[in-house]
A and B are shown apart, each in its own frame.
Chain A
Amino acid sequence: MNLKGQPIKTSEAVSNVSNTPGRVRAATIADRVGPFWTLGVLVLIIAIFGVVTPNFLSQGAWIATTVATTQILILALGQTFVIATGGIDLSVGAVLGMSGMVGGLTMATLMAAGLPSGATIAIGFAAGIAAGTAAGVINGLVITKMKVTPLITTLGMLGIATGVGYLIGGGQQIATIPSDITTIGFTNLFGWIPLPVLVAAVLAVIAWYYLTKTRFGRRALAIGSSAESAKRAGINTDAHLIRIYALAGGLAGVAGMLLVARLSAASPTAGDGSELHSIAAVVIGGTSLFGGRASIAGTVIGAVIIAVLQTGLVVAAVDPFWQYVAIGVVLIVAVWADQQRSKLLARKR
């Protein structure tokens, strides 16, 4: 490289440059083919379940699948933004459960005080979503100000939120909430579209808009691409990251309250394991775990794949514990496939 044979200054910066192109260049191409092959996988899975268990193509299974998708998708939307920045949020499942418990306790208290059910439900939702957002803000503050890695911070929050969820109800569910709340959980528009599904769909469109069309989304990707570059360009990366973790927590709160509406009760274990689902959905959808590139359309497909696997296995009368195994395998395969594709394309170059 240097005609005079002098050593080129090797700062970490230089090695960054020489390391990234292969991975990211391949990723660019993967971006274009990504959604298509995952959509193919989804169609294939649905076809297999349809053949094996014809019940799977019934209205009942459809409703069950779409409702399951709702919970996974709403968590995965926030997770997409977090992973776009190069982070990860392991706490969304626990925060979902805790938010539901906060909302449940709020509603139980207000109902006991004789407040009308409409106001009780509205305030309960607000409290649950606020609790989730607060947990997200704490994640963001710890990550940016205390410089603890996202993995450890959110793992810690997983523990904290789980504990708080149990403490709120003394380890029990909270079921003394207005029964009207099932109106939200069980209204099916035109018989086929559960209200929570509509909420999730609207949130997905908003998330897509913000990721692709606005400063907020571009800056999230810039941070994931190179936090140092973003900082040097004058972006307040700390504030942006805090907002994004708050968003992930707030969405976990929304998912938690929708689940309360569906179950007519708040359960501290409601979100157990769903951080795994949300991360799997995001990765299957082609969002890079390294940050810098993300797709909401891919996340939607990924969330549907996970939900189809869940309900499909149930309808097919497979022992429900196999769901965990199946989803774990899918997550690993998705990451492996992405790495293979990147390697292949890097070699071609």
Chain B
Amino acid sequence: MSPPSPVAQRQPVLAARGIHQRFGGVHALRGIDLELFPGEVLALVGDNGAGKSTLLKILSGNNRPTSGEVLVEGRAHEFKNPAEASAAGIATVYQDLALALDLDVVENMFLGREVSVRGAGRLTGHLDRALMAKRTREALDRVHIRIPDIEARCVDLSGGQRQAVAIARAVTWCDKVLLLDEPTAALGVEQQQEVLNLITSIRERLDLAIVLVSHQLSHVLEVADRIAVLRQGRIVRVFDRDEATSSSLVAAITGLTEGDEE
């Protein structure tokens, strides 16, 4: 059903094969097959309860599937936790950003990966602030994010800036796949556009594959190369960017026929 991808000749960096997920009596995912290629943005769309978040939780190592497997560069992985997914090169930016808002930008960039000074300071875990600040600036510059004061606490940043910090952190520590869970939800219109520009910028500059989960079809149409539609735990259709329209997506999402267009 899905048309040949422009990058079909390359090995998928991330693949899901026959993923099923049951929660008690609920069959949330019913056989998901998905391939993701380096340098592409794949959007996952679907109604509430279609299985987008469940699928993302499996790919990010938060949940383990009832059956099926996740392959990274052709090798099967069973992630027990997000740290294992991260070690395999998959980073996730969660809806709630996963920042420690009371800490500053530098501390958040290095949260859980703090760098100690050399010598005696190692014994106490004395932080090398200068080095971490320098690397934070480099990381932000790499994806053209402007944060005026990286010593500012994240709580004092705008929602868009916080999302940018979360994304910058993710791309700093992963080298293969970036999973974005509703990155534009809870943001103002202007800030939503900033985040979309950032996604495009990352796609152009870094050789990452991006999975974007979003409700906002206009955003999906703007930045995605391919759009996978989930309905009732199945991928019902994968659109290429050129063939997808807002109305064809809505038709696929809801399962209602769309007049004569199909």
Contacts and interface: CB of A to CB of B under 8 A. Distances in A.
Interface of A: 1-4, 6-9, 11, 13-14, 16-18, 20-21, 24-25, 27-28, 209-210, 213-216, 218-219, 221-222, 224-226, 228-230, 232-235, 292-293
A228 B101 contact: no
Contacts of B83: 234
B103 A221 contact: yes
Interface in B86-120: 86, 92, 94-103, 107, 111-114, 116
A6 B45 CA distance: 13
B95 A13 contact: yes
Contact of B215 (A6, A21, A218): A6
B102 A8 contact: no
A221 B182 CA distance: 27
B220 to A, nearest CB: 11
A58 to B, nearest CB: 40
B111 A2 contact: no
Contact of B98 (A2, A11, A233, A293): A233
B96 to A, nearest CB: 3
B101 A216 contact: no
B131 interface: no
Contacts of A234: 82-83, 86, 112-113
Contact of A13 (B94, B111, B126): B94
B182 A213 contact: no
Contact of B101 (A1, A24, A209, A213): A24
B155 A20 contact: yes
B125 interface: yes
Interface string B137-159: 00000000000000001011001
A16 B98 CA distance: 11
B116 A215 contact: yes
A218 B113 contact: no
Contacts of A218: 103, 107, 114, 127
22 contacts: A2-B185, A3-B189, A3-B218, A9-B215, A11-B95, A13-B95, A14-B185, A14-B186, A17-B159, A21-B155, A24-B153, A24-B155, A25-B156, A28-B153, A28-B155, A222-B103, A225-B100, A225-B102, A226-B98, A226-B99, A232-B92, A234-B86
A3 B187 CA distance: 12
Contact of A230 (B112, B187, B189): B112
B125 A216 contact: yes
Interface residues of B, number: 40
Q: Which of B48, B53, B97, B112 has the most CB of A within 10 A?
A: B112
Nearest to B216: A2
A8 B183 CA distance: 12
Contact of A9 (B86, B97, B182, B217): B182
Contacts of B92: 232
A230 B48 CA distance: 28
Contacts of A27: 102, 155
Interface of B: 48, 53, 82-83, 86, 92, 94-103, 107, 111-114, 116, 124-127, 153, 155-156, 159, 182, 185-189, 215-218
Q: Which of A13, A24, A226, A233 has the most CB of B within 10 A?
A: A233
Contacts of B155: 20-21, 24-25, 27-28
A18 B159 CA distance: 10
Contact of A209 (B82, B116, B124, B185): B124
B186 A1 contact: yes
Contacts of A11: 53, 95-96
Contacts of B97: 17, 229
A4 B100 contact: no
Q: Which of A2, A9, A14 has the most CB of B within 10 A?
A: A9
B102 A24 contact: yes
Q: Which of A11, A27, A293 has the most CB of B within 10 A?
A: A11
Contact of A221 (B100, B116, B187): B100
A2 B214 CA distance: 11
B182 to A, nearest CB: 6
A16 B218 contact: no
A4 B86 CA distance: 34
Given A28-B155, A219-B112, 9 more contacts: A17-B159, A20-B155, A24-B153, A25-B156, A28-B156, A216-B124, A222-B107, A225-B101, A229-B96
Q: Which 8 A-B pairs have the closest CB atoms?
A: A13-B96, A233-B112, A292-B102, A215-B125, A225-B100, A225-B102, A234-B112, A233-B111
Nearest to A223: B100
Contacts of B48: 7, 9
B67 to A, nearest CB: 25
Given A13-B96, A25-B156, A234-B86, A225 B185 contact: no
A8 B103 contact: no
Nearest to A288: B102
A235 B114 CA distance: 10
B96 A16 contact: yes
A293 B155 CA distance: 12
